[in-house]
Amino acid sequence: MKLDLNGRRLQVDADPGMPLLWLLRDVLNLTGTKYGCGVAACGACTVRVDGQAVRSCITPVSSVVGKRLQTIEALGTPGKPHALQLAWIAEQVPQCGYCQSGMLMAAAALLGKTPQPTDADIDAAMTNICRCGTYQRIRLAIRRAAGMAPNGVARKAKK
């Protein structure tokens, strides 16, 4: 199968029914995407497929052929971090860190679709589970990355 992964085209030899998470972690050694529940409940395994947040633990590899795949490894680089990564650092979001790559990919999908999300948009998009309870900091970081004030009000454009 040919995949379009993190801006690169690659040929993979895998069972078409293999969950994408297994392919990423065990075959391609992209271990930034995490395994949590394996049943689409926690979001630790979230990646983007054609920009949308997708839970890779229940996504067969065959279903992503011909689509653009992005994992946490390609969200930003140390020299050029994504706005969300900068905001995550500024708001000191991560605690144990286990859920955070999935959170970031879900947030990236949200901002890709809705650049200035309301609280309702954030609640609807961020259904991932964090056992460390970082939800409020995640909300602040998403607003920061979106250029919004901490209370969710859009900042006025500078003249």
For ligand FES, the binding residues (CB under 6 A) are 35-38, 40-45, 55, 57, 94-100, 130-132, 134
Shortest Cβ distance from residue 96 to ligand FES (Å)?
A: 3
Q: What residues are paired with 52 via a beta bridge?
A: 49
In the complex with ligand FES, the residue whose CB is nearer, 1 or 40, is 40
- Cβ contact 123:111 at 8 Å: no
Listed in sequence order, the residues at least 6 apart from 93 whose beta carbon sits closer than 8 Å to its beta carbon are: 100, 103, 134, 137, 138, 141
Nearest to 67 by CA among 56, 76, 77: 56
In the complex with ligand FES, the residue whose CB is nearer, 39 or 120, is 39
Nearest to 107 by CA among 84, 140, 80, 78: 84
Shortest Cβ distance from residue 156 to ligand FES (Å)?
A: 33
Residue 151's alpha-carbon distances to 70, 119, 147, in angstroms, are 30, 10, 11
Shortest Cβ distance from residue 114 to ligand FES (Å)?
A: 22
Query: Which H or E run includes 107?
Result: helix 100-113
Shortest Cβ distance from residue 44 to ligand FES (Å)?
A: 5
In the complex with ligand FES, the residue whose CB is nearer, 71 or 134, is 134
In the complex with ligand FES, the residue whose CB is nearer, 66 or 97, is 97
